[in-house]
Homo-oligomer: A and B are copies of this chain.
Amino acid sequence: MTRKSEDAGRSTIRDVAARAGVSASTVSRVLGGVYPVSSATRTRVMRAVRDLDYVADARAKAVAGVGTPTLAFVLEDITGPSFAHMAHGVEREARRLGHLCLVCTTEGDVQHEVEFVEMMRAQRAAAVILVGGSADTIEYRERTRRMADSLASAGSRLVLCGRPPLGPGAPVTVIEYDNEGGAYALVAHVLTQGHQRVLFLGGASDHTTAQGRERGYLAAHRARGLDPDPALLLHGDFTRDSGHRLMREALKEGLDFTAVVAATDMVAAGALTALHEAGLDVPGDVSLAGYDDIPFARDLHPALTTVHVPYEELGRLAVRTALGRTPETTDDHLLLGTHVVVRDSVGRVGQA
């Protein structure tokens, strides 16, 4: 009868105090660990704690100012490989820094995002990390700016991770990666292999990630004095299905190209199967490249040449700078580099 005698649910600190024959403050001190308590008292208290299976209510501690800090992150869909990696980085770093991690997926619904951020302000979250690209409209900037101000005035901070930055002066931390640079290098690589007409399977035209990659595509052409045929610049979204559909249509319309660069690896995957369905060999008949370097890129056949993006690092950095653990980085705008990883899906032109 000495082991456990808890019956139903949460006991309070006063229950423990009563059972140990001390006051609540003493229990708090024993559990806190620093204040001097005689070992006899400590033993009695600890025993009562064990008997009652007591755990202090974290919410109450939080209200008293000694809670576990919390951090929130918001993304469109945890299912996408690149988002998942950012999420992973965020979660790892948050845990390392002793923070709890709240997550919210918006499925692209702006309203959800706004509401969730407001909830996080109420939760007194240490920071809110918005993950993933977005259309960069006036409305976006104003809305996001409002969220940033709101959070800032509550002592929290908004972090934009792979998202378009706001104007200057917004209380925001921005962590981006070099979309344009990566695309530039990738397309340069493709052009170097002798391709003249390279099809670009882009994303939504108001999406900054898509825009950056598109700019890289264009810039790489111009740098070699080429002027890409506008007909080769297609727009869709970042899904596998979009790549599949776009590729099929391009083939059906008889578009003339020897290489295709997809805005993401997912798009490339869809495009690849469309190519295969059409009986085309990659890279024999047409070359293909992606973007993101998701783990599966290696297992497509042929293995996909793509651009590596340090997604996990991006997530880690987001929480680290948000939590202000790197005083050396006073700058609130970080840009991470990307690099192309050459595999087997792009070949020299005119060479099966």
Contact = CB atoms under 8 A, between A and B. Distances in A.
A78 B67 contact: no
9 contacts: A55-B122, A56-B122, A59-B67, A59-B123, A79-B88, A100-B123, A101-B103, A269-B299, A300-B301
Contacts of A88: 77-79, 105
Task: Report, nearest first, the 7 A-B pairs whose CB atoms are least far apart.
Answer: A269-B299, A58-B122, A59-B62, A301-B301, A9-B155, A58-B123, A55-B122
A104 B79 contact: no
Interface in A140-196: 150, 153-155
B298 A273 contact: yes
A124 interface: yes
Interface in A81-107: 81, 84-85, 87-88, 91-92, 95, 100-105, 107
This chain's copy number in the assembly: 2
A62 B59 CA distance: 7
Given A79-B295, A91-B104, A269-B299, 6 more contacts: A6-B153, A56-B122, A59-B63, A81-B81, A84-B84, A95-B105
A121 interface: yes
Contacts of A295: 79, 240
Greatest chain B CB density within 10 A among A55, A101, A112 is at A55
Given A57-B122, A273-B303, A296-B296, A92 B67 contact: no
Category for how many chain A residues contact B: 35 or more
Contacts of A59: 59, 62-63, 67, 123-124
A105 B78 contact: no
Nearest to A10: B154
A84 B91 CA distance: 14
Nearest to A312: B79
A95 B104 contact: yes
A302 B295 CA distance: 18
Interface in A180-231: none
Contacts of A57: 63, 122, 124
Contact of A300 (B100, B101, B122, B299): B299
A56 B121 CA distance: 9
A276 interface: yes
B155 A10 contact: yes
Contact of A58 (B55, B124, B298): B124
A53 interface: yes
Contacts of A62: 59
A34 interface: no
Nearest to A7: B153
A60 interface: yes
A119 interface: yes
A68 interface: yes
Interface string A43-68: 00000000001011111101100011
Contacts of A10: 124, 154-155
A118 interface: yes
A102 B100 contact: yes
A337 B111 CA distance: 35
Contact of A78 (B60, B87, B155): B87
A100 B101 CA distance: 11
